[in-house]
Chain A
């Protein structure tokens, strides 16, 4: 069983389009995250939700909007895609609290043309 899954795995789209990435975890965790990894492997946290409530919202363009319908799902919607949005997006989950391990999904490779 996959612990943290993301769909799609690959996403190629044109500038200006709107796209969504879905994430689901079956670990029973109460906290989920979205990260962006650029071509140099630099990893930056974007958002974090705990029990469907936003707890971390880093400096991210408001074209990015997370949505958590329940604590097992955290989706990422991106409006008006730009070339600079091309990256690998990782979803992760954990229990909330210091020292808790994060479990990462396999990533969604987004390419904006």
Chain B
């Protein structure tokens, strides 16, 4: 079956540190992969996505590459800011679009 395994948090970093949040998946076929971010008290919003192998999604300095050989979609940012403090969710969507799986979320706190 399909599933998403995400690095457990919480993660605390100093401003300008490098961020990696690991995400691996199991899936039949070729799913689409997403990172969503949830700021305190808000709903989730799309951060970036990739719909096929080797695609790189990027937004706001964050990047993730769809790696079919390692079934991974790790989120990275070279220099985090206090405003990046949020919960990050890795998600998988089946090719047909009718199955969704979210990771457990990783809470990130960036301190000045």
Chain A residues within CB distance 8 Å of chain B: 4, 31, 33, 40-45, 48, 55-56, 90, 92, 96-107
Contacts and interface: CB of A to CB of B under 8 A. Distances in A.
Contacts of B97: 31, 96-100
Contacts of B18: none
A48 B97 CA distance: 11
B44 A98 contact: no
Contacts of A104: 36, 43-45
Interface in B48-92: 49, 51, 87, 89
Contacts of A99: 32, 49, 51, 93, 97
Contacts of A48: 98
Contacts of B34: 101
A106 B42 contact: yes
B43 A107 contact: yes
Contact of A98 (B36, B42, B94, B104): B94
What 8 pairs across the A-B complex have the smallest Cβ distances? A104-B43, A99-B51, A99-B32, A41-B105, A97-B97, A98-B95, A43-B102, A104-B44
Interface residues of B, number: 26
Interface of B: 31-32, 34, 36, 38, 42-46, 49, 51, 87, 89, 93-100, 102, 104-105, 107
Contacts of B107: 41
Contact of B93 (A40, A44, A55, A98): A98
A42 B105 contact: yes
B111 to A, nearest CB: 20
Contacts of A90: 43-44
A100 B100 CA distance: 11
26 contacts: A4-B43, A31-B97, A42-B105, A43-B102, A43-B105, A44-B102, A45-B100, A45-B102, A56-B98, A56-B99, A90-B43, A92-B43, A92-B44, A96-B97, A98-B32, A98-B51, A98-B97, A99-B97, A100-B97, A101-B46, A101-B49, A102-B46, A104-B36, A104-B44, A104-B45, A107-B42
